[in-house]
Amino acid sequence: MLDQLQLGVCYYPEHWPESIWEDDLARMKACGIRTVRVGEFAWALFEPEEGRFDFSLFDRFLALAEAQGMRVIMGTPTATPPIWLTEKYPEVLNARVDGVPYRHGLRRHYNYNSEKYRELCARIVRQMGDHFGRHPAVVGWQIDNELNCETNEFYSEADHRAFRAYMRERFKTLENLNDKMGGVVWSQIYTDWSQLHLRRPTIHDQYNPHLLLEEKRFFSESAVRFCRMQCEILRPRIGDAFITTNGIFDNLDYERLIGGDLDFLCYDSYPNFALDMYQEPAKQDKYPDRKWSRNLSLTRAHSSSFGIMEQQAGANGWTGRMESPMPRPGQMRLWTMQSVAHGANFISYFRWRNAPCGTEIYWHGLNDYDNLENRRLAELRQVRDDFKKLAEAAQAPYRARVAYVLDYDNEWDAACDRWHGRAHRHSMDGMFRAAQDLHEPMDFLYLNEETTVADLSKYALLIYPHAAILEDSVADKLEAYARGGGQLMFCARTGYKDRWGRCPMRPMGFRAAELCGIRISDYTFVGPHDEPGAAVMDGEALDMPLFNDILDVTRDDARMEATYSANYYAGKPAVVSRAVGAGRIWYYGAALSEASGAAMLKKLGFGEPCGNLLELPDSCELAARGDYLFVLNYARTEAAIRVKVPMPELLSGETMSGERKLPPFGVMVFHSSK
Ligand code: GAL
């Protein structure tokens, strides 16, 4: 499925008269679309009443699709339990934190843990697998729709019960539970398992932080198990068809979700989500849609080959929530190429036509309500033609020498803990922008138990900014990576928590501090009455924003790289590095900003990896798939680029050199080794 560039579309045969299906399919084909996703919300049609199944509408659609040689991805419809189901079995509903259930009328109103819901889901999935599993047109399956979208928190009675069982399994004894969850503080000692709950309403909406972290792990595990249950039912029934799911959402460990159950992940890419419609123009991000490159990189981190199940094809919005403008001419193509540049080979647009009714009448598809020719269709045909020229480029994987390291323990701790969270968000945004400014393609790398030193050693530089939770076993792998010649950078707030989120009595920085030869002798947020955090490195000012770890050098072989130049700790070490084996480990004592991220990248010898071939302005992103260099212009104006060495450009078919102009939202793809 992902071995070559392909176009697809999301289609809802149940939304339109049957008389136009055939014409729709023929027009899709003419636009280059070969694959159609259907069915993911159609439970009320598949099972109109409990235990009575009717697949006739989709049988007729599949027959037409097969006749036209179209391929179909079938969605399991478990994101939208029908009303007969939720009325008869209200325990399947999800609930707010105060226990009030969410009712019928939208979608994803269910919980993952109700035994009844799991039983009814298993039955509809089994029925669909038996019915459609061997259909020649069905090439793949999508599990549910966007697990953990809409809400990623679950507080039904079934969830509280399952949480209790999960915690009992994990901690075995109440004594152990009370120890790990810090029960000694504020009389939170449990004396019976039945007392244990997921979060419930509390003063200030605050809750035991260690239990909160466990809650996130539990939510994730619930979704993983729900997905696995469906995969296990489908696998024996669907032959060679693939299984995927779509989107990336919080409280879900995608490393675990994919592991063994899914063939690959698909992302739903709506770059206009990055636009803040309510922000005054002066404060708007210059190229908001470029932020989506970060999400595509996150997807690639979990699934080295991936697809886009929903690629934005028009303006976004629900009737009562969210709104965004129509993509400007060329922007839909740019966003498609953004996905391709980041490694996606299957691009399926959301949706074929605007919804005729319902919450999403403004979530625009390729066709308008009237079904007449429009500029989005013309742009799609251009993409169809472009794809033919990119066939070879799409064989190569995304290429980066720098990786930004993440892990779910820290991501979730950052989501529960404001101190950690501020630093986490600040650095992720700062470093992403810095890498973009320096045209340095960057991967994200999620550490998990199976990560090997060889996985790490694919990169020349790892940036692991705020691993508040830093277990010694992880530090060992990182040390081995550095010994083998890699460069590794830690930032402020590294290494002061254990995996339960407690702060053990141990010098801060843990192994990171030992490896760098430092002691973190003091630390502080940069407060509103302080001078902005700053240091001097190589005679130049270095931004040290948000939080400052004040360092002491404790080993002779550690090198002081920068000194604080502001506040009561001026003159103290701000950045220290130490050679470890053939590599070097750095400690940068603040959160990363765009400016400091760029300064550190340059200091460590990175930035402009293709500077000998191309000179690009800051409106352009550079992404590399093997030797193919994608240049994407996010500006509404022309971008002047300089091609320093003559190179074939695939979309125009020309060999280019010298000054060239990229049109607004334009794309060029150079073959650098020819
Ligand atoms: C996605 C979802 C689609 C559709 C789209 C537009 O999150 O998977 O079903 O709702 O957004 O809102």
User: Do 95 and 158 touch, CB atoms closer than 8 A?
Assistant: no
pLDDT at 616: 98
pTM comes to: 0.97
pLDDT at 513: 98
pLDDT at 278: 78
Indicate whether 537 and 624 sit together in one domain.
Answer: no
Please report which residue ranges of 201-341 form alpha helices under DSSP H.
209-234, 254-258, 292-302, 331-341
- Tell me which residue range forms the domain holding 415: 402-603
Indicate whether 76 and 106 sit together in one domain.
Answer: yes
Task: State how far Cα 606 lies from the chain centre.
Answer: 25
pLDDT in tens, 452-491: 999 999 999 999 999 999 999 999 999 999 999 999 999 9
Q: Which atom of ligand 1 is nearest to the CA of 149?
A: 7
In the listed set 603, 634, 650, which residue is the last one of a domain according to the structure? 603
Q: How confident is the model at residue 655 (pLDDT cuts 50, 70, 90)?
A: very high
Helix 331-341 vs helix 292-302: crossing angle, to nearest 10: 30
Indicate whether 588 and 622 sit together in one domain.
Answer: no
Task: Using the CB atoms, write b or e for 648-669: b if 16+ within 10 Å.
Answer: ebbbeeeebeeebebebbbbbb
Report whether pLDDT(275) > 90. Answer: no
Testing ligand 1's pocket by substitution, the residue of 12, 348, 360 carrying the most ligand atoms inside 8 A of its CB is 360
pLDDT at 657: 97
Quick check: is 654 catalytic? Answer: no
pLDDT at 674: 67
Indicate whether 621 and 566 sit together in one domain.
Answer: no
Indicate whether 437 and 356 sit together in one domain.
Answer: no
Indicate whether 245 and 353 sit together in one domain.
Answer: yes
pLDDT in tens, 248-264: 999 999 999 998 799 99
pLDDT at 453: 98
Least confident of 40-44, 144-148, 285-289, 387-391: 285-289
In the listed set 546, 568, 603, which residue is the last one of a domain according to the structure? 603
Indicate whether 595 and 643 sit together in one domain.
Answer: no
pLDDT at 287: 80
Report whether pLDDT(350) > 90. Answer: yes
In the listed set 603, 625, 660, which residue is the last one of a domain according to the structure? 603
Indicate whether 391 and 407 sit together in one domain.
Answer: no
Gap from CA of 657 to ligand 1 centroid (Å): 42
Report whether pLDDT(283) > 80. Answer: no
Indicate whether 269 and 391 sit together in one domain.
Answer: yes
Neighbours of 221 (CB within 10 A): 18
Instruction: Average the pLDDT over 376-391 and give the result.
Output: 98
Any domain includes 182: no
pLDDT at 277: 78
Any domain includes 204: no
Counting residues of the chain whose pLDDT is more than 90, the rounded percentage is 96
Any domain includes 636: yes
Any domain includes 179: no
Report whether pLDDT(590) > 80. Answer: yes
Report whether pLDDT(279) > 90. Answer: no
Any domain includes 157: no
Gap from CA of 245 to ligand 1 centroid (Å): 13
Report the chain's mean pLDDT, rounded to a whole number.
Answer: 97
Any domain includes 253: yes
Any domain includes 335: yes
DSSP β-ladder status, 487-491 and 461-464: parallel
Indicate whether 407 and 383 sit together in one domain.
Answer: no
pLDDT at 389: 98
Any domain includes 209: no
Rg (CA), the chain: 26
Q: What is the CATH number of the domain that holds 584?
A: 3.40.50.880
Q: What is the CATH number of the domain that holds 368?
A: 3.20.20.80
Q: How confident is the model at residue 273 (pLDDT cuts 50, 70, 90)?
A: confident
Please tell me the total count of domains within the chain: 3
Indicate whether 376 and 317 sit together in one domain.
Answer: yes
Quick check: is 440 catalytic? Answer: no
Indicate whether 382 and 492 sit together in one domain.
Answer: no
Instruction: Average the pLDDT over 536-557 and give the result.
Output: 98
Which residue owns the Cα nearest ligand 1 atom 6?
363
Instruction: Average the pLDDT over 596-622 and give the result.
Output: 97
Q: Which atom of ligand 1 is nearest to the CA of 350?
A: 5
Q: What is the CATH number of the domain that holds 654?
A: 2.60.40.1180
Gap from CA of 146 to ligand 1 centroid (Å): 8
